[in-house]
């Protein structure tokens, strides 16, 4: 028998904690089955994942490094999604953002370093936003679907960057498609530097100060979406465009603003990659983070508080997964792409598979308690 | 020999709190054209969707030619000889007429013999009923009138004996209407049965032999068309329930506060829906705009409130020109000038149901102090304000943080009403103020409107509820087919007279 459940009676922790956890557990069980079929012990694999991502300082640092990237791209997707725009162009926006970082860092090298950092962040944001502007304009004015245009802009960004990296901004002293390295004083302090400051010696890991920027970006998004007039208007347009027009809120303006902020946040990924890790633009540095960010945002219910743990989870999978593929010969890198896929499937597409049952279970249980 | 082909008994259907069909009993005789008339929202389309298997009734039985049947999907209805021509055609635009007609009934994997046979059958049908449709033309090349014929042909081909036509003339030109009526008459002559759903009295009188009138989900009368006339039908349609008592003093009419000159407005399909409308509203006056739904009131309201573009004409607010075809103030600018608008379709336009109640209570005023300052929302101020108005307007439950979708329909309405009335606008445009609101709230809302009038507000009240217009308005204008067809002072008009104006009879 089916009956309509009174949504207002479902406690927040059931829909926002229990349901995602159940979905995640199921996804892990199915993934375990994959590993079993591939001829390895799932239990051992889990142990390796946990050891790889938490077991030693550098491993944990790697986990947080991946988390940083996922936070940026997850936030980027979430902001656009609040205006019901499916921005899948994070990949391209991040890539072009890198160009902004590099140009700022090269051209303003006469300024004090902290100022260059701030300008680089602005550069990453502005270049990422600019790359999102054209699809945004086309959506707002011409109704060209943002999914189509942003994915095409990923390819354009990729081709453009290959051209630039080969013919224009390549380090001409060598043949690889990357730029010259930035001066050492511009490199963001790494986790290793932080540890050394406190007298702890650890080995290299890519984790750097961008992680703090990611946390700041999360706060920024939370404040923007829920505490400001702009967030209010963006959400109004996203939920009910007709009502927005009635209230004098311009859908056109808000689509553009949402996409600019979204593109800008995606652009910030390049702060981590260009200023923090590679210290130059290398070809293809967004490496799929833009796409995984979609899953992170959906899993995190497009809220910074949800995006952080979701990004962390994917960080664990990335780092722990590489540990597993290293130690288990039967498990390839692609296996972990499949595991990611299963998690996305269960927490995204099948998100409502067990939701009604779980919610009504808890509502009934609470009702019974209330009666007693 | 009269024999019933379709018998409905005790059909009930509810959507949430709305009882769309209440204990419907209806018998339709074979070989007749049976009209079902009623205002929009009276439940006609719901009833016919049940007969066609699109909805399942909550209770009741349906008999076709005396046999009780269980309709689960349109397929069941088609098998029982029931065909439907929807208001919005169900055709694949880039298929040919032939492909559309055989769709779902192809009967073979690769087109060949069956398709040829279908073509021959269809040609015969076209000749018998004078349909005159070219089977090989693509739907998107056909005019609306011809698309409708394709729908009729489709039903014929599938062996329909009963044809349900839902507002078939709404989209047609007068010439196309004549052609359609010819076709319907020839169908009847061949022994087919036609159920015509409409709110247009002329069509009923022209075409039908029997008519059933629906009002608020119930059938309020059956009659032979010959035994009635337009006036009687109009009365039945509009209803004559007891007027609500309103304490209303005589108005102290001030200067003209709002003025519309030669206004023409087109809808999304580029059809003129408001045709050269002139009106004036004085301060301290309620101007009632009566009319059957779909005669341009919606477009008029949208144009006056800055949502819809003005094709030509001018709008003045306190003598200042605010809108014409070149320049349209947006709703927010109009709000700043003291114009509030409560839209007809409130859930769709007036609210964001995924917002918290408090967020909806400032919707459209969100960038004004004290609700926001320097673009940052002042949540505590919004909360206090929400608490207060929810108390004042008795919105239940009184939880500003609750998601709006969790409020009942009536309480959602109150959220909008309280938001707009609380600002004490100088000019208020209000569409269907009490649609979907419970009796207690109706009285409250009416009293608020009178109070506002007494304080000097100019109010335009658009309503399809004649009683409401009569009990609140000082002056009444009637809109029919996009034009103002009459203006009356409330004291010397009867609801019968208004009903006739609304139906375009006089």
Tens-place pLDDT, residues A26-58: 988 999 998 899 888 999 999 999 999 999 999
- Position A207 pLDDT exceeds 80: yes
Looking at per-residue confidence, does A233 or B2 come out higher?
A233
Res B40: pLDDT: 60
For residue B173, the model assigns a pLDDT of: 65
Taking the C-alpha atoms of residue B134 and residue B97, their distance in angstroms, rounded to an integer, is: 7
DSSP state at residue B377: E
Nearest to A27 by CA among A360, A356, A350, A355: A350
Bigger pLDDT: B113 vs B206: B206
The upper half-sphere exposure of residue A276, i.e. CA atoms within 13 Å in the direction of its Cβ, equals: 27
CA distance A372 to chain B (A): 25
CB pair distance less than 8 Å for B348 and A233? no
Q: Nearest CA to CA, how far is B15 from chain A (Å)?
A: 13
Cα end-to-end distance, chain A, whole Å = 26
Q: Which of A8, A227, A246 sits opposite B307 (nearest CB)?
A: A246
If you average pLDDT over residues B49-70, what whole number do you get?
88
State mean pLDDT over A91-118. Answer: 95
Mind telling me how many Å the CA of A221 is from chain B's nearest CA? 13
Nearest CA in chain A to B348: A243
The pLDDT of residue A291 is above 50: yes
A249 touches chain B (CB under 8 A): yes
Q: A221 pLDDT exceeds 90? A: yes
**Mean predicted confidence (pLDDT) in B63-68:** 89
How far does A80 lie from chain B, in Å, by closest CA? 17
Question: How does A230-251 read in b/e, with b if 16+ C-beta sit within 10 Å?
Answer: bbbbbbbbbbbbbbbbbbbbbb
Evaluate whether A72 touches A276 at the Cβ level (below 8 Å).
no
Residue (of A366, A348, A237) closest to A297 by Cα position: A348
Average pLDDT of every residue of chain B:
85
- Are A232 and B359 within 8 A, CB to CB? yes
The partner residues of B462 in beta bridges, in order of sequence, read B289, B431
Mark A322-337 as b/e (b = at least 16 C-beta within 10 Å): bbbbeebeebeeebbe
- The answer to whether the CB atoms of A243 and B349 lie below 8 A apart is yes
Instruction: Report the pLDDT value the prediction gives residue B506, as an integer from 0 to 100.
Output: 65
Angle between helices B439-454 and B409-422 (to 10 degrees): 10
CB distance B332–A248 less than 8 Å? yes
A8 interaction partners in chain B (CB closer than 8 Å): 402-403, 406
A11-25, A233-247, B401-415: which is most confident:
A233-247
Interval A218-233 mean pLDDT? 96
Q: pLDDT value at position B447? A: 84
CB distance A247–B372 less than 8 Å?
no
Whole-number pLDDT of residue B41 = 63
pLDDT bin (cut points 50, 70, 90) of residue B105 is low
pLDDT bracket for residue A116 (50, 70, 90): very high
Residues 154-213 of A with CB under 8 A from B: none
Contact between residue A39 and residue A330 where contact means Cβ atoms under 8 Å apart: yes
pLDDT value at position A250?
A: 92
C-alpha span between A171 and A165 (Å, rounded): 8
Cβ atoms of residues B487 and B475 within 8 Å: yes
Q: Name every chain A residue with its beta carbon within 8 A of the beta carbon of B406.
A: 6-8
How far is CA B388 from its chain centroid?
34
CB neighbours of A132 closer than 8 A, spacing ≥ 6?
A87, A89, A93, A150, A259, A260, A262, A263, A264, A266
Spatial strand order in the sheet of B272-282? B272-282, B256-266, B312-317, B320-323
Chain B hits for A244, CB-CB cut-off 8 Å, are: 352
The domains of chain B, with CATH numbers, are: 4-238 (3.40.50.300), 241-338+425-506 (3.40.50.300), 346-422 (no CATH)
First to last CA, chain B: 38
Residue A336, pLDDT above cutoff 50: yes
Checking if the pLDDT of B13 tops 60, the result is yes
Question: Length of chain A, please?
Answer: 372
| Residues whose CB falls within 8 Å of the CB of residue B502, separated by 6 or more in sequence, listed in order | B234, B238, B290, B291, B292, B466, B478, B480
The Cα–Cα gap between A214 and A72 comes to 6
Window A:223-242, CB contacts with B under 8 Å: 227-230, 232-233, 235-236, 239-240, 242
According to the model, what pLDDT value does residue A7 have?
A: 57
Burial of B219 (0-12, 13-18, 19+ CB in 10 A): buried
Nearest CB neighbour to A229, from listed B331, B367, B406: B367
Query: Range with the lowest mean pLDDT among A244-258, B106-120, B194-208, B211-225?
Result: B106-120
Helix (H, G, I), strand (E, B) or coil at A313: helix
Residue A206: pLDDT band (50, 70, 90) is very high
Q: Which of A84-88, B79-83, B156-160, B435-439 has the highest mean pLDDT?
A: A84-88
Mean per-residue pLDDT, A344-349: 79
| Residue in chain A nearest B330 by alpha carbon | A248
* Residues of A in Cβ contact (< 8 Å) with B350: 243, 246
Distance in angstroms (rounded) separating the CA atoms of residues A268 and A297: 16
Average pLDDT for residues B350-377, to the nearest whole number?
Answer: 91
Q: Are B344 and B416 in contact (CB under 8 A)?
A: no
**Of A127-136, B175-184, B373-382, the least confident:** B175-184
Min mean pLDDT across A157-161, A182-186, B443-447 is at B443-447
Average confidence (pLDDT) over B475-501:
85
Q: How far is CA A146 from CA A57, A149, A249, A250, B354, in A?
A: 41, 5, 20, 18, 23
A324-333 confidence digits (pLDDT tens): 888 888 888 8
Better-predicted residue by pLDDT, B491 or A292: A292
Query: Chain B residues with CB inside 8 Å of A248's CB?
Result: 306, 330-335, 364
What the block records as the tokens of B411 is 């309480």
Subunit contact A239:B333, Cβ cutoff 8 A: no
Note the pLDDT tens digit of each residue in B294-325: 788 889 999 999 888 898 999 998 888 888 87
For A245, nearest residue in chain B (alpha carbons): B307
User: From the CA of A223, how many Å to the nearest CA of chain B?
Assistant: 9
Contacts of B99 (CB under 8 A, 6+ apart): B92
Under the banding of pLDDT at 50, 70 and 90, the label for residue B242 is very low
């Amino acid at each position: 028998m089916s009956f309509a459940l009174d949504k207002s009676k479902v406690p927040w922790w059931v829909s926002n904690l229990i349901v995602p956890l159940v979905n995640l557990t199921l996804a892990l069980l199915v993934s375990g089955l994959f590993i079993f079929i591939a001829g390895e012990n799932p239990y051992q694999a889990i142990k390796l994942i946990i050891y790889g991502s938490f077991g030693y300082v550098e491993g944990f640092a790697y986990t947080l490094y991946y988390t940083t990237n996922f936070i940026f791209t997850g936030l980027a997707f979430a902001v656009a999604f609040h205006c019901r725009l499916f921005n899948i162009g994070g990949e391209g926006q991040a890539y072009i953002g890198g160009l902004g970082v590099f140009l700022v860092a090269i051209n303003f090298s006469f300024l004090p370093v902290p100022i260059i950092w701030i300008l680089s962040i602005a550069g990453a944001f502005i270049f990422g936003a600019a790359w999102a502007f054209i699809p945004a304009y086309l959506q707002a004015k011409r109704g060209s679907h943002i999914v189509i245009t942003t994915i095409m802009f990923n390819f354009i960004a990729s081709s453009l960057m290959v051209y630039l990296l080969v013919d224009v901004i390549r380090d001409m002293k060598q043949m690889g498609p990357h730029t010259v390295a930035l001066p050492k004083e511009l490199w963001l302090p790494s986790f290793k530097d932080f540890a050394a400051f406190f007298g702890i010696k650890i080995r290299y890991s890519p984790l750097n100060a961008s992680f703090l920027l990611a946390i700041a970006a999360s706060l920024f998004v939370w404040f923007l979406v829920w505490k400001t007039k702009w967030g209010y208007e963006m959400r109004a347009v996203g939920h009910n465009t007709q009502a927005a027009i009635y209230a004098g809120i311009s859908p056109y303006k808000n689509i553009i603003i949402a996409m600019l902020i979204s593109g800008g946040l995606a652009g910030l990924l390049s702060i981590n990659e260009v200023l923090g890790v590679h210290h130059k633009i290398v070809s293809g540095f967004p490496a799929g983070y833009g796409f995984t960010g979609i899953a992170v945002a959906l899993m995190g219910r497009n809220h910074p508080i949800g995006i952080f743990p979701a990004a962390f989870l994917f960080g664990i999978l990335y780092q722990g997964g590489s540990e597993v593929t290293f130690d288990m010969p039967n498990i390839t890198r692609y296996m972990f792409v499949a595991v990611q896929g299963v998690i996305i499937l269960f927490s995204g597409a099948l998100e409502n598979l067990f939701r009604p049952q779980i919610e009504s279970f808890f509502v009934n249980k609470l009702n019974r308690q209330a009666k007693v | 020999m009269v024999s019933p082909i379709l018998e409905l008994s005790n059909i009930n259907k509810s959507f949430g709190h709305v009882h769309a069909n209440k204990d419907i009993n209806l018998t339709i005789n074979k070989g007749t054209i049976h009209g079902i008339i009623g205002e929009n929202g009276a439940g006609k389309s719901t009833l016919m969707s049940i007969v066609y298997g699109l909805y399942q009734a909550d209770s009741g039985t349906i008999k076709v030619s005396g046999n009780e049947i269980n309709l689960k999907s349109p397929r069941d209805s088609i098998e029982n000889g029931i065909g439907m021509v929807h208001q919005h055609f169900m055709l694949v635009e880039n298929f040919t007429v032939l492909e559309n007609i055989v769709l779902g009934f192809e009967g073979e994997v690769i087109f060949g013999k069956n398709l040829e046979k279908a073509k021959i059958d269809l040609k015969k049908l076209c000749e018998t009923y004078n349909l005159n449709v070219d089977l090989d033309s693509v739907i998107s090349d056909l005019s609306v009138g011809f698309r409708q014929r394709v729908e009729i042909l489709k039903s014929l081909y599938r062996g329909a004996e009963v044809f349900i036509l839902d507002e078939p003339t709404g989209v047609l030109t007068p010439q196309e209407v004549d052609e359609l009526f010819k076709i319907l008459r020839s169908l009847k002559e061949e022994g087919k049965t036609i159920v015509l759903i409409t709110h247009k009295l002329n069509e009923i009188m022209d075409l039908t032999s029997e008519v059933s009138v629906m009002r608020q989900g119930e059938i309020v009368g059956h009659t032979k068309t010959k035994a009635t006339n337009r006036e009687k039908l109009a009365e039945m349609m509009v209803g004559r329930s007891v007027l609500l008592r309103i304490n209303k003093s005589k108005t102290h009419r001030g200067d003209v506060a709002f003025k519309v000159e030669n206004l023409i407005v087109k809808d999304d399909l580029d059809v003129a829906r408001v045709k050269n409308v002139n009106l004036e509203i004085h301060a301290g006056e309620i101007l009632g705009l009566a009319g059957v739904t779909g005669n341009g009131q919606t477009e008029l309201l949208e144009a006056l409130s800055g949502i819809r573009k003005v094709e030509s004409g001018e709008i003045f607010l306190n003598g200042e020109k605010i809108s014409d075809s070149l320049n349209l103030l947006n709703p927010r600018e109009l709000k700043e000038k003291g114009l509030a608008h409560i839209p007809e379709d409130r859930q769709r336009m007036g609210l964001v149901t995924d917002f918290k109640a408090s967020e909806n209570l400032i919707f459209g005023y969100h960038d004004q102090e004290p609700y926001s300052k320097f673009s940052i929302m002042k949540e505590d101020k919004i909360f206090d304000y929400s608490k207060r108005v929810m108390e004042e307007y008795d919105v239940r439950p009184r939880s500003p943080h609750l998601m709006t979708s969790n409020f009942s329909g009536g309480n959602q309405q109150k959220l909008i009403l309280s938001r707009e009335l609380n600002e004490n606008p100088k000019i208020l445009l209000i569409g269907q103020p009490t649609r979907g609101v419970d009796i207690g709230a109706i009285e409250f809302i009416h009293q608020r409107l009178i109070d506002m009038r007494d304080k000097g507000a100019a109010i335009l009240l658009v309503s399809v509820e004649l009683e409401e217009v009569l009990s609140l308005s000082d002056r009444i204008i009637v809109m029919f087919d996009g034009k103002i067809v009459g203006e009356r002072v409330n004291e010397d008009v009867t609801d019968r007279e208004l009903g006739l104006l609304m139906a375009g009879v006089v």
